[in-house]
Amino acid sequence: MMTLKPAFPRSRPFKILVTSVLAASISFGAGCSGEVAHGLGSPSNFTAPDKVADIEFPTTISHRGGADVYTEESMEGFTASVKDGFLPEMDIQFLEDGTPVLIHDDTADRTLNGATGPIRDLSREEWDSATIKHPAGGEEAATVTLDELLDEMGGEVVLVPEIKPGATPEEVDRVLDEFDERGLKDSLVVQSFDFEAAKTIADRGYTSLYLMGSTMPKESPAEIKDAGIEWVGPSKNLPTNKMRELDKAGFHVAPYTLETAKDGHRLPGFIDGYFTDDAWTD
């Protein structure tokens, strides 16, 4: 499989990222429990683990890179998260030419300035020229492709990408092929709400996290287990006794999405992790 290379390459030196993250950290420092200089340092001193096997439980997953603190799905948010020991989570959608990009919604309207409409209708040039809105009206950030994220952090830290619903089996394989080419099997927890996609992820040798809602899925815990899936991500509104059932079936259970890390500390002791929009407020 041929790796998709950026059609409009953008320089993103790490020292520039550090400056941006430091500025953002100063702006939000009063509301965060971590160090002010979240972004100081180099990739070699990330405090998040670099291998799935080294994850300590319970683990904090920084939802969309800390979407209540940093610009959603921005390199600044991902960098700040891993500097403070959190696993950064991101969403994969596809542009018109098939380029995988990092954005939650299937349209640009809520989070981007300079682009509108379905992500699948955007050209690479339109994507690169757009910016991500700041949650508190602060400085906007550059959009990020999957390649750009992996160039910066791939293999350096555990990443938690979600292949969004609507991805075709071919697109799922294309993303996994990209991970294969970079040798990332040990450093990714790959998510999907689609059971077949989650099964494919596991079949391909990746740690698979099957996302589910506030009720149990149609698949039984035994069926999910037989598919090779090791993690499950239920809604935080799934009843505790059902989460316990998943835990007893042998899964790592990581509910989504809590407002702050403080809410994560109130979860039952058997929970192995949680997604939060603000990993710093505990």
Looking at the chain, the whole-number percentage of residues with pLDDT higher than 90 is 83
pLDDT of residue 15: 33
Asked if pLDDT for residue 77 goes beyond 90, the answer is: yes
**Residue bearing the bigger pLDDT, 248 or 46:** 248
What value does the mean pLDDT take over residues 53-69? 97
Domain range annotation of the chain = 47-276
Provide Rg for the chain, Cα atoms.
Answer: 18
Q: Which CATH class is domain 47-276?
A: alpha beta
CA 63 to CA 89: how far, in whole Å? 5
pLDDT of residue 241: 98
pLDDT of residue 16: 37
Angle at CA of residue 265, ends 263 and 270, nearest 5°? 120
What value does the mean pLDDT take over residues 65-90? 97
Instruction: Give the pLDDT confidence of 16-53 residue by residue, as tens digits.
Output: 344 344 344 433 333 333 332 333 334 456 899 999 99
The pair of structure tokens assigned to 16 is 């520039």
pTM of the predicted model as reported, rounded to 2 decimal places: 0.87
Burial class, 153, CB count within 10 angstroms (exposed 0-12 / middle 13-18 / buried 19+): buried
User: Measured on CA atoms in the order 190, 132, 130, 19, is the torsion positive or negative?
Assistant: negative
**Residue bearing the bigger pLDDT, 12 or 237:** 237
pLDDT of residue 5: 36
CA 101 to CA 93: how far, in whole Å? 5
